Amino acid sequence: MKKKLFLLILLTFLLCGCTANVNITINDNTISERISIQEAPYGELTMNDITQQYRKYIPAFKDTIIVDTMPDVKEEGVKYYQSSSSETNGVFNVHYLYDYNFGEYQNSTGISNSFKSPIVQYDSNEKKITIKTADSEMILFSSYPELDEVKINITTNYKVLENNADYNSGNVYTWIYRKGTNKGIYLLLEDLEGKCISKDNKTDKEDKDNKDNYNESNEDKDNHDEKNNRDDVEKSTLEKGYDKFKEEGNKHPHILAFVFTCLFLLVVIISFRVKKV
């Protein structure tokens, strides 16, 4: 079996008269991508032939490598688009849906395999979101020459500062691509409240750093407490020794006087020898 990196959702032989709609919704920290394809039978092609061409399990991230099997099978640990299909008025409809965190979307299978050089980034200083692709024909048209049209709709609750959409209606911005259309997507959004970077969007490294800092803080605290406890024990031992010595001195004053006399004589002898030298 051959391993391959799958393209968008058209992982089959696309036929004449096929169109695709990509609906992207940007709300706060979530970017939802819904891809819909409509295809009708023609010539000797039957509806059953069409339904067999579309895969059920499509990886949601561009770097996913899976085994190319037909019929396709689901592999453990792989994140897939949610897929569904239906037949309406003799037309086959297939849909693929996935909800990304803002930081994940640049690596989505959809945008990465549709456009050259996609950029999805957040400027924390300017509080702005930029979604941009290269001004060139969509990759899909060269990969699938039978594809007629791709329509991209982006809906957002952010304020749109700049865009190059073909048209918009309310908060929905639309781009229409056909063969020979050399135009990328450009959308500049304002995010004054920083909603696209939420707590749920923290990286594993940030979580690990926070956890390490917490552990280090607790370890430092434990070491400090241990040192204080050790100092308290030593101090307590000295105090107990002094108290005991004082108590014995009170009981036997002559012994205490003898001890101090000996200490005085020892100091005198040491001083005499030092002077002599």
- At residue 171, the pLDDT reads 95
- At residue 246, the pLDDT reads 56
- At residue 205, the pLDDT reads 43
Q: Which domain holds residue 226?
A: 208-276
Domain identity same for 104 and 179 = yes
Q: How far is CA 87 from CA 26, 38, 94, 124, 200, in A?
A: 29, 9, 9, 46, 38
- At residue 4, the pLDDT reads 40
- At residue 123, the pLDDT reads 92
What's the rounded Cα separation, in Å, for the pair 217 and 225? 12
- At residue 81, the pLDDT reads 95
- At residue 254, the pLDDT reads 61
Domain identity same for 185 and 246 = no
Domain identity same for 195 and 219 = no
The residue from 149, 173, 199 where one domain ends is 199
Domain identity same for 135 and 180 = yes
Domain identity same for 226 and 121 = no
- At residue 42, the pLDDT reads 72
Domain identity same for 253 and 140 = no
The pair phi, psi for residue 83, each rounded to 5°, is: -115, 150
- At residue 202, the pLDDT reads 43
- At residue 240, the pLDDT reads 57
In the chain, which stretches have pLDDT less than 70? 1-17, 70, 146, 198-277
Q: How many domains does the chain have?
A: 2
Residue 175 in 3-state DSSP?
A: strand
The residue from 199, 234, 253 where one domain ends is 199
Domain identity same for 102 and 225 = no
Looking at every residue in the chain, the average pLDDT score rounds to: 76
Q: Which of 143, 158, 119 is nearest to 4 (CA)?
A: 143
Which pair of structure tokens corresponds to residue 101? 């965190």
The residue from 142, 173, 199 where one domain ends is 199
What's the rounded Cα separation, in Å, for the pair 186 and 168? 13
Does pTM surpass 0.75? no
